[in-house]
A and B are shown apart, each in its own frame.
Chain A
Amino acid sequence: GAGVSQSPRYKVAKRGQDVALRCDPISGHVSLFWYQQALGQGPEFLTYFQNEAQLDKSGLPSDRFFAERPEGSVSTLKIQRTQQEDSAVYLCASSLVILAGGPYEQYFGPGTRLTVT
């Protein structure tokens, strides 16, 4: 079946611009995660949804970052007034289960490479 999809794949923004990154999870997957990956590093957690509820946003680096998943499916990560330090790959992952017992695997989309100039 179809995997996680993300758009755009590449985004160049001038400093100060707002950007919106979209994630379409695997059909039926309840949980959706956003991660940020800098060059040479592992992905770092940003935020997590279970259906439409944002259960954890502790990883969002500043109040310029905002995420939503209004209908419990597609999610959008918005970055306002972009800064050069926001340049990174933004990864979305989805996971099927929310109940005890698993499985708990997270499957990643292709990512959006954001470059702020």
Chain B
Amino acid sequence: QKEVEQNSGPLSVPEGAIASLNCTYSDRGSQSFFWYRQYSGKSPELIMSIYSNGDKEDGRFTAQLNKASQYVSLLIRDSQPSDSATYLCAGGQNTDKLIFGTGTRLQVFP
């Protein structure tokens, strides 16, 4: 059974702090990894993709991938209350289906 594991949270951070979200995966064949943000009652919105080991930065977001440890993370700098949502980690074999974690709920308080 291919799995993606996330801590369900909630992760509570003060406004302006760094939020760190983590994810592990079991399928060593997975090559593509994604972070989606999902607000309550809405559909998942893609915020980051990462395919190679190391860091990838986009604005306030940094994704990190370590294939040897089967570990993916997302850092959100200068967290804002509008970042409060559930963050879904997903992995797949490139053009194939995505396997999602259950999501980590992030709460950013003023």
Contact = CB atoms under 8 A, between A and B. Distances in A.
B63 to A, nearest CB: 13
Given A91-B44, A107-B46, A31 B99 contact: no
Contacts of A45: 97-99
State the majority secondary structure of interface residues on B.
strand
Nearest to B97: A45
B46 A105 contact: yes
Interface in B82-110: 88, 90, 92, 94-103
A95 B46 CA distance: 12
State the majority secondary structure of interface residues on A.
loop
A106 B90 CA distance: 11
A30 B90 CA distance: 20
Contacts of B69: none
Contact of B97 (A33, A91, A108, A111): A33
A43 B44 CA distance: 9
A72 interface: no
Contacts of B95: 31, 50, 95, 97-98, 104
A109 interface: yes
Nearest to A33: B97
Interface of A: 31, 33, 35, 40-45, 48, 50, 56, 59, 89, 91, 95, 97-98, 100, 102-111
Interface of B: 4, 32, 34, 36, 42-46, 49, 51, 88, 90, 92, 94-103
Given A95-B95, A106-B98, 16 more contacts: A31-B95, A33-B98, A42-B103, A48-B97, A91-B44, A98-B95, A102-B32, A102-B94, A104-B51, A104-B95, A105-B49, A107-B46, A108-B43, A108-B46, A110-B42, A110-B43
